[in-house]
């Protein structure tokens, strides 16, 4: 268990309340994929402010879920949006985030019967 994610911060935040942990996991599984779609849309349309708003929104969640590499990469997306970079400069980073989140969600669903 927990190869793709780390819930130590979630358990610390929740005082080991399993119901609270479950709520956090459910929100992660349902909301982060939608937020990633919005980031992708912002990148596609070169709407840097739009992409930034969603990247900024999921940043604390990635940290909370122990997705350290994805967290570092979302910081790169934020920097890219502020610099109004070219789409080709951020596509691979975004794909990496998407893969990590997808793998974590798959594992969480299996581990917690969500």
Per residue in 33-51, pLDDT (tens digit) is 999 999 999 999 999 999 9
Summary mean pLDDT of the chain: 96
Q: How far apart are CA 8 and CA 107, in angstroms?
A: 16
Domain coordinates of the chain in residue numbers?
5-110
Assess whether pLDDT exceeds 90 at residue 30. Answer: yes
Segment among 49-53, 71-75, 110-114 with least mean pLDDT: 110-114
The closest of 57, 70, 51, 56 to 6, measured between CA atoms, is 70
Taking CA atoms, 14 is separated from 8, 33, 109, in Å, by: 10, 23, 19
Mean pLDDT of 70-93: 97
Q: Does the CA dihedral 99-12-58-76 come out positive or negative? A: negative
Taking CA atoms, 87 is separated from 16, 29, 34, 54, 81, in Å, by: 42, 27, 20, 16, 10
pLDDT at position 3 is 77
The closest of 45, 69, 42, 68 to 53, measured between CA atoms, is 42
pLDDT at position 18 is 95
The fold of 5-110 is: 1.20.120
pLDDT at position 94 is 98
pLDDT at position 1 is 47
């Amino acid at each position: 268990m927990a190869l793709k994610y780390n819930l130590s911060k979630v358990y610390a935040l929740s005082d080991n309340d399993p119901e609270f942990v479950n709520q956090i996991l459910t929100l992660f599984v349902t909301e982060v994929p939608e937020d990633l779609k919005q980031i992708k849309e912002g990148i596609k349309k070169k709407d840097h402010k739009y992409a930034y708003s969603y990247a900024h929104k999921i940043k604390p969640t990635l940290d909370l879920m122990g997705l350290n590499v994805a967290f570092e990469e979302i910081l790169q997306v934020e920097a890219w949006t502020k610099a109004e970079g070219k789409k080709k400069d951020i596509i691979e980073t975004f794909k990496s985030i998407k893969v990590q989140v997808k793998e974590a969600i798959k594992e969480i669903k299996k581990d917690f019967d969500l």
